[in-house]
Amino acid sequence: MEEHVQPSPEVRSRREFLANLIMGTGLTLGLGSLFVRFFEYLYPVVEPVKLVEVLAAKTADIPPGTVHFAQLAEGSVMIGNVGGQLHALSAICTHMGCIVKWHPELNQFVCPCHRGIYGPDGTNISGPPPRPLNKLAVKARGDDVYVMIPAQKVQT
């Protein structure tokens, strides 16, 4: 009678080795991609905001103590002249995106949609707005007043 010899546990067949190698490679790649996604979630890549310089008004349109509203293709802005210093704010309410209006008798910006009230510097005073109006950089060159507005991404 022929005796069948069992291989010792240390000896593995080529088939077992290749199966373990493929499963180990798949496990490593799967866990690696999971960790990559996890770290992308923790540290997202934020593209820098590009600013576009847009002609908003003429200096003659904004005498001291007034606020000038400008409807631009890139958005609505308000430029105020306080003691010869120009200040620009976005005219878009931070609550629901309505266009706020300047009320000189109240010395406040008021949102007509939900009665949000902002101070002359754009700080939210009352109502539902969660944060102040966005401040924009403003430059006067000669008779022209330019406002720096975040560039809109073009969808392709």
**CATH label of the domain that carries residue 129:** 2.102.10.10
Same structural domain, 65 and 136: yes
Q: Which of 143, 35, 131, 145 is nearest to 88 (CA)?
A: 145
67 found inside a domain: yes
Structural contact between residues 146 and 53, judged by C-beta atoms closer than 8 angstroms = yes
Q: pTM of the full predicted structure? A: 0.62
Same structural domain, 26 and 68: no
143 found inside a domain: yes
Same structural domain, 28 and 81: no
Q: Which of 59, 57, 106 is nearest to 78 (CA)?
A: 57
Each residue of 105-140: pLDDT tens digit? Answer: 888 889 988 888 998 888 888 888 888 988 988 888
Q: Which residue has the tokens 């706020």?
A: 100
Distance CA 65, CA 86 (A): 10
Same structural domain, 95 and 136: yes
90 found inside a domain: yes
Distance CA 79, CA 56 (A): 9
Same structural domain, 80 and 25: no
155 found inside a domain: no
Average pLDDT, the chain: 84
Same structural domain, 39 and 81: no
41 is in which domain, residue-wise? 9-46
Q: Which of 84, 63, 29, 68 is nearest to 147 (CA)?
A: 68
Q: Region of 127 please: left (phi>0), alpha (psi -120 to 50) or beta.
A: left
Question: How does strand 124-126 pair with strand 117-118?
Answer: antiparallel
Q: Give the pair of three-digit tokens for residue 111.
A: 């949102």
pLDDT computed for residue 155 by the predictor: 47
For the chain, how many structural domains are there in total? Answer: 2
Each residue of 58-112: pLDDT tens digit? Answer: 888 888 888 888 888 777 888 888 777 888 988 888 888 888 988 888 888 899 8
